Structure 1
Amino acid sequence: MEKSNSLLSLTREELIGWEAPNWNWTKLNVDGSVNQPGSKGTCGGLIRDWMGRTIAGFSMNIGVCTITMAEIWGMYVGVKLASELGIRKLVVESDSKCAITLTQKMSPEIHGNSSLIRSIKELLVKMEDVEVRHIYREANFCADALAKLGQEHELGIKFWEQPPPCLFHHLLADASGMKFSRIVVQ
């Protein structure tokens, strides 16, 4: 019994959900998806303003790749899209280690994709203000849905000016401030 009590003291319950960025900032949420190792990789992302309004989004069918590669491609396509839209103040959020990679030493698997990481960093440096954050998946449902939507497309990128219907419930949950319970390690 003592062991389980010590484990419980290492965790806590948090309510997690998407949060709009500060006034005059824009937020990019990205995600990658691979159904099983050695299968098709996809990614997706959504750019929203400080009021939660959708600016643009994308889904991409990458082809066979690892989950890490799908996450990195999602980050690259999303940051490039934000740059092309002239966004100057950007919060980038991902529920993968890809977000952490941009600010820390690269793991060997990610180091193999260093030219893509370098391209992401070059795009971010050109912006006025940037924050890159790792988030829990409960705050990233829209990007996850767009990444999974890429499974239905041919190879390449599909850009969304208006959110596809599969995002309706996720956007509604985000706009209403819905939170989801998660047990996190302290």
Structure 2
Amino acid sequence: MLKIKDVASLEGWNWNLLQMEIPEDVRREIQATPFSCVARNKDKLAWKPSPKGSFDLRSAYLLASEPLPDPAFQGKWIWKLDTLPRIKTFIWKCTHQSIRVRDCLQARGLQVDNFCPHCHNSPESILHTLQDCMFSRQFGLCLIVEIKLPEAQGKLLGTKPLCLLFGQFGRAGISCGWLKVNTDGSSMGNPGLAGGGGLLRDENGSWIGGFSRRIDIANSFTAELWALRDGLLLCWQMNVQAVVIELDASAIVDAFNHQSVANTIVSSIMDDCKLLIDQIPHTSIRHVYREANRSADWLANFGLNLDSDFELLTGPPVDFISVLEADSRGLYCDRQCIDPAFVS
């Protein structure tokens, strides 16, 4: 009798060992389901209606009485905004994936290349077009908007006005003798098609090794954990003695620094990460902004389009070299942030 360990590995599932045909959509969900490969833990039951896998009476009652309803649209706040109707309509269209960007057109069945025609680095989704694309950011920096809050609004928002600044973020240095691993997970839909990636560098920012993974259907939290485990495995296999671990998912960093988060659905992969961290003599895990994690972000998006499930990179991909060199030279990216001096 076949067991999961006979079919599944970190390099992917060997579907040829199965005697039955599994639908592609089901296969993708199975492919992205976390399983333990380092920690020797027993299987656990998870309650599917709960995002953390823990049983609760409310969802059990709804399941027993009638099918679980689809989540209601959480966008009623849009029509209460104090702005022009055309802006409200635009935001409403964004929440319904109704903007004619290439990713949305492809999802509706049109045969178009969904990659951004400007930067050619990521699929042209609504989020990418409005926020992540470097050309969109450059355009945004050319706009100067003066925001004036009425006195009544100031009382609601705080006793001091809100001041937005542009901070510069880039690769942070590390101590001599230490290495740094950056990881990132990407999900196009949350849950949606997901990928992971990361790289290991020395104190000078030089490439040591990297990886990309095609995770298939998963949410961003799970994709981040897949990438983190792959990065820790790379460190463990290379016998790294001291490493700084950086990722731009603050929820993941909090989960490991406080170790009080219980999530049955991803407990297997979290246990693997904890065990791998314990195997490395000196570790430090910290959160960085996305702008300082752009190299790992590139490799995570690269994983979305892999033909294989996992690829260990002995050298940087050709299209990635310019991103890596910019990081090594210490180039910064601008990010809009709040001036702490103006926060009540």
TM-score scaled to structure 2, two decimals? Answer: 0.50
After TM superposition, what 4+ stretches of structure 1 lie above 3 angstroms from structure 2?
105-108
Q: Distance in 2 between matches of 1:111 and 1:100?
A: 17
Contact 1:46 1:143 in 2 (8 A): yes
Contact 1:46 1:57 in 2 (8 A): yes
Partner residue in 1 for 2:220: 67
Match of 1:176 among 309, 318, 329: 329
Find the structure with the greater CA-based Rg. Answer: 2
The SS at the match of 2:233 is helix
1:15 and 2:168 equivalent? yes
Q: Distance in 1 between matches of 2:260 and 2:292?
A: 24
- Amino acid in the other structure paired with 1:99: V
Q: Distance in 1 between matches of 2:321 and 2:162?
A: 36
Partner residue in 1 for 2:314: 161
Contact 1:63 1:155 in 2 (8 A): no
Partner residue in 1 for 2:200: 47
What is the count of residue pairs matched by the alignment?
184
State the Cα distance separating 1:161 from its structure 2 match: 0.7
**Cα deviation per residue 1:128-147 (whole Å; 9 max; x = unaligned)?**
11000010001001100000
State the Cα distance separating 1:112 from its structure 2 match: 2.4
Q: Distance in 2 between matches of 1:79 and 1:168?
A: 23
The SS at the match of 2:246 is strand
Q: Distance in 1 between matches of 2:279 and 2:285?
A: 14
Q: Classify 1:148/1:7 alpha carbon distance in 2 versus 1 (closer, same or farther; 3 Å).
A: farther
Partner residue in 2 for 1:98: 252
**Unaligned residue ranges in structure 2 (runs of 5+):** 1-148
**Unaligned residue ranges in structure 1 (runs of 5+):** none
State the Cα distance separating 1:86 from its structure 2 match: 0.4
Partner residue in 1 for 2:54: none
TM-score scaled to structure 1, two decimals? Answer: 0.90
Q: Distance in 1 between matches of 2:220 and 2:239?
A: 29
Q: Distance in 1 between matches of 2:258 and 2:337?
A: 22
> Structure 1 or 2: larger strand share?
1
The SS at the match of 1:152 is coil
* 1:16-165 aligned within 5 A: 16-96=169-249, 97-105=251-259, 107=261, 110-165=263-318
The percentage of aligned residue pairs carrying the same residue is 28
Q: Classify 1:27/1:143 alpha carbon distance in 2 versus 1 (closer, same or farther; 3 Å).
A: same
- Greater Cα shift, 99-108 or 158-167: 99-108
State the Cα distance separating 1:62 from its structure 2 match: 1.0
Q: Distance in 2 between matches of 1:78 and 1:106?
A: 22
The SS at the match of 2:258 is coil
Q: Whose relative contact order is higher, 1 or 2, with alpha carbons under 8 Å and at least 6 apart?
A: 1
Contact 1:28 1:93 in 2 (8 A): yes
Q: Classify 1:7/1:170 alpha carbon distance in 2 versus 1 (closer, same or farther; 3 Å).
A: farther
**Cα deviation per residue 1:55-95 (whole Å; 9 max; x = unaligned)?**
10000001111111100000001001111110010100000
